[in-house]
């Protein structure tokens, strides 16, 4: 009898699916800040504007095959394209490994895709677009209602509708208050409105229980990077560092390890 394991094949298919979605996320990262359509026109080289043939637009593979250069004008293509595709593909595999195929996978897959787009746009343009965060808030709340009444999520990653609602209100409200207080004392706008809506979206997707852990991690990560930048570039000058990517990273950690983290800080002495 021959036993053929389909597990490796399953992981490969999931990886490729994640890479294809990652390729679309690249288009979103490039076009959303400019207000362009993410569907039309088809992909073209940002330098020479020549259209990219389908065989040069294969996720991950084409970048390696063309050695990171445009086929027509040989201008360097940003490694960001490759990084985003690899990141989305790897995280898709990790989600599949953690949750299998089911409601928890579907909701967290959409959530992770949104976090990646938000992070790279914030790094690039220092904005968090409403076209991601506002529908994200609605979607997070919608998934929690479906999780309660329609789907069965045995991983308990999808919060209850009440937890989702409290999460989005407290998440958004807390950062809004922090921003106001900071502005009163320093007369400088410290917390962008984009961060407020992003944190509300995270609360809607993961429930209020995720907020403390996410914020602690984001603040810690932001402080370490902020101090490093200050140290390298010189103290006293202002270097705005986007906070969005740190919030996204905190949310991502909570998504994978949240249950363990919550248990740890609720029950450890
Ligand atoms: Zn070109």
**Nearest one of 79, 106, 88, 74 to 23, comparing CA atoms:** 88
| Ligand 1 mean position, distance from CA 49 (Å) | 6
At residue 262, the pLDDT reads: 66
Tell me if 209 sits within 8 A of 159, measured CB to CB.
yes
| Ligand 1 mean position, distance from CA 17 (Å) | 27
| Ligand 1 mean position, distance from CA 44 (Å) | 8
| Ligand 1 mean position, distance from CA 78 (Å) | 12
pLDDT tens digit sequence for 173-206:
998 898 888 888 887 776 678 999 999 999 999 9
- Cα torsion 63, 67, 68, 71 to 10°: value is -90
Q: How far is CA 125 from CA 46, 87, 118, 121, in A?
A: 17, 20, 10, 6
pLDDT tens digit sequence for 74-108:
999 999 999 999 999 999 999 999 988 888 899 99
**Nearest one of 14, 38, 23, 31 to 85, comparing CA atoms:** 23
């Amino acid at each position: 009898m021959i036993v053929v394991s389909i597990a490796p094949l399953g992981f490969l298919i999931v990886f490729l699916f994640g890479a294809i979605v990652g390729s679309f996320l690249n288009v979103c990262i490039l076009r959303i800040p400019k207000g362009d359509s993410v569907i039309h026109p088809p992909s073209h080289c940002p330098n020479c504007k020549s259209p990219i043939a389908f065989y040069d637009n294969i996720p991950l593979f084409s970048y390696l095959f063309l050695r990171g250069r445009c086929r027509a004008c040989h201008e360097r293509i940003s490694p960001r394209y490759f990084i985003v595709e690899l990141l989305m593909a790897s995280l898709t595999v990790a989600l599949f490994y953690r949750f299998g195929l089911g409601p928890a996978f579907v909701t967290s897959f959409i959530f992770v895709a949104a976090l990646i787009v938000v992070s790279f746009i914030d790094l690039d343009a220092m904005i968090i677009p409403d076209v991601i965060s506002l529908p994200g808030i609605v979607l997070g709340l919608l998934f929690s209602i479906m999780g309660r009444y329609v789907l069965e999520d045995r991983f308990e990653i999808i919060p209850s509708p009440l937890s989702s609602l409290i999460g989005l209100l407290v998440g958004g409200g807390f950062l809004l208050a922090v921003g106001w207080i900071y502005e009163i004392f320093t007369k400088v706008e410290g917390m962008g409105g984009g961060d407020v809506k992003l944190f509300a979206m995270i609360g809607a997707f993961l429930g209020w229980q995720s907020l403390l852990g996410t914020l602690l991690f984001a603040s810690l990560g932001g402080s370490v990077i902020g101090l490093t930048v200050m140290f390298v570039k010189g103290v006293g000058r202002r270097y705005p560092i986007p906070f969005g990517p740190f919030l996204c990273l905190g949310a991502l950690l909570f998504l994978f390890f949240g249950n363990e983290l919550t248990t740890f800080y609720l029950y450890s002495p």
